[in-house]
A = this chain, B = another copy of it.
Amino acid sequence: MGFVTYDDRRLCGQLHGKRFQVTYRLQGDLDSARALAEAVCREQTVEFPLEAIPPGIILDRVVGQLESLQPANDGGYLACISYAEEIAAGEFTQLLNVLFGNISIMPGIRVEAVELTPALLSMVRGPRFGTDGLRARLGISRRPPVFTALKPMGLSAHELADLAEAFVESGVDIIKDDHGLTDQVFAPFDERVRRCAEAVAEANIRTGRRAMYVPNITGPAEQMFERALRAKQWGAGGVMVAPGLTSLDAMRALAENDELALPVFSHPAFIGSYAVNPQGISFPVLFGTLMRMAGADAVIFPNYGGRFSLSREQCLGIAEAGRSPLGTLKTVFPSPAGGMQLENIGEIVSSYGPDVLVLIGGGLFTCGSDVRRNCKRFVTAVEQAYDVWERKNAAQKSAAEGA
């Protein structure tokens, strides 16, 4: 056995004892879950045979520690593992690496919950605007904002701008690019963003509204930030980015940049595999906690009952993780989407409450022959759903006060 040697006292002075905790769901029976939990403790930290490390603080504190191992309600085991705060190095990328780096290649492991320390939470800024800040920018104090997308791919910048104008004039609050629009020859980034931002601005002036255009700035690493800045110059009210394509950390960097300082909308493209599979990261941790730490003011995700496969519980878990206390981080607007129709609006508002961006895209083109009229029905349906929610909420409040 060859031994690695190190100065135990030096390292002891560098680790201050604060630990963060991650709960993993592990497949298998108790013995195999315990073996897997112990593998996680090693794999995510020293990645080294423990028997080759002399007794001391690396084994005691640097290696992950299995705090508890309990049967999960729906099969397998829940292992709570703690890690020394210092191994995350104050970096969001390295925190993700400790959570799920090497073990992303091991079957049977899923990140179910994280409990971070104040220091780790303060290493990111989180949403710059949050729910309240986005409401202030939109001038909407209580009801859910009404949200749609410019598509289909193949339209020219001019044709997309015409659509944007119709959306604003019909009462839509937020108009984003479809996430597939980047810099195609048929609607190049610069022309599209300039034209659409201009169309929204002009329609806002005509109608006295404060609708927001949110272009998709997902693109080559060398260009993305510049695209965002140009979009801002041209009058974009926010930017959309797909962190599955650009990395969560690139979204964080964008959101934290004081020169940009625009609301950030996250799109789920290319990141779904982590959450839809048995092995990976739970929907609430990925789309709630991690997207929030990565600075999303609004998180678009596939709603239950649409074209995708999430359960109601998973979706509400995302919304909850975006608004429950998390250090000093602001709250996030959930934006359930993916095949939503006018008839889903009541359910959306009643489930998520008023702090939700109600996003209908293609559905606005299949519910009647006049898109402007469909948009107006959309707006009315959101207002009505909000009224229903408010009456119910008031009734519950007065019942609670009377009790």
A259-294, CB under 8 A of B: which get 1 and which 0? 000000000111111111111110000000000000
- Closest B residue to A183 by beta carbon equals B89
A152-170, CB under 8 A of B: which get 1 and which 0? 1111100100010000000
Complex formed: what's the CA distance from A247 to B279 in Å? 20
| B105–A180 touching, CB < 8 Å | no
| B4–A105 touching, CB < 8 Å | no
Contact partner of A62 (CB less than 8 A), chosen from B2, B98, B153, B249, is B153
So how many copies of this chain end up in the complex? 2
A80-123, CB under 8 A of B: which get 1 and which 0? 00000011011111101110111111110000000000000000
Q: Which residues of B contact A90 (CB under 8 A)?
A: 183
Complex formed: what's the CA distance from A126 to B252 in Å? 27
Shortest CB distance A160–B (Å): 10
| B273–A104 touching, CB < 8 Å | yes
Is the CB of A398 closer than 8 A to any CB of chain B?
no
Q: Which residues of B contact A4 (CB under 8 A)?
A: 152, 155, 163, 365, 371
CB-CB under 8 A for A43 and B307, given A93-B182, A183-B90, A249-B220: yes
Complex formed: what's the CA distance from A374 to B3 in Å? 12
Complex formed: what's the CA distance from A62 to B156 in Å? 13
Is the CB of A258 closer than 8 A to any CB of chain B?
no
| B105–A49 touching, CB < 8 Å | no
Is the CB of A14 closer than 8 A to any CB of chain B?
yes
| B368–A2 touching, CB < 8 Å | yes
Shortest CB distance A144–B (Å): 22
Is the CB of A369 closer than 8 A to any CB of chain B?
yes
| A152–B89 touching, CB < 8 Å | no
What are 22 inter-chain pairs, A to B, with CB distance below 8 A?
Answer: A1-B365, A1-B366, A2-B364, A2-B365, A4-B155, A45-B152, A45-B180, A46-B180, A47-B362, A48-B151, A49-B366, A52-B366, A96-B245, A97-B179, A98-B180, A101-B242, A102-B272, A106-B276, A107-B309, A247-B250, A250-B250, A273-B281
Q: Which residues of B contact A48 (CB under 8 A)?
A: 151-152, 361-362, 365
Per DSSP, are chain A's interface residues mostly helix, strand or loop, or mixed?
A: loop
Q: Which residues of B contact A271 (CB under 8 A)?
A: 104
CB-CB under 8 A for A247 and B221, given A101-B179, A362-B47, A365-B3: yes
| B2–A100 touching, CB < 8 Å | no
| A154–B277 touching, CB < 8 Å | no
Q: Which residues of B contact A43 (CB under 8 A)?
A: 307
Shortest CB distance A353–B (Å): 24
Contact partner of A6 (CB less than 8 A), chosen from B103, B155, B367, is B155
A235-256 contacts to B, CB under 8 A, are 242, 244-247, 249-250, 252-253
- Closest B residue to A43 by beta carbon equals B307
- Closest B residue to A218 by beta carbon equals B93
Is the CB of A178 closer than 8 A to any CB of chain B?
yes
Q: Which residues of B contact A107 (CB under 8 A)?
A: 276, 309
| B92–A220 touching, CB < 8 Å | yes
- Closest B residue to A375 by beta carbon equals B2
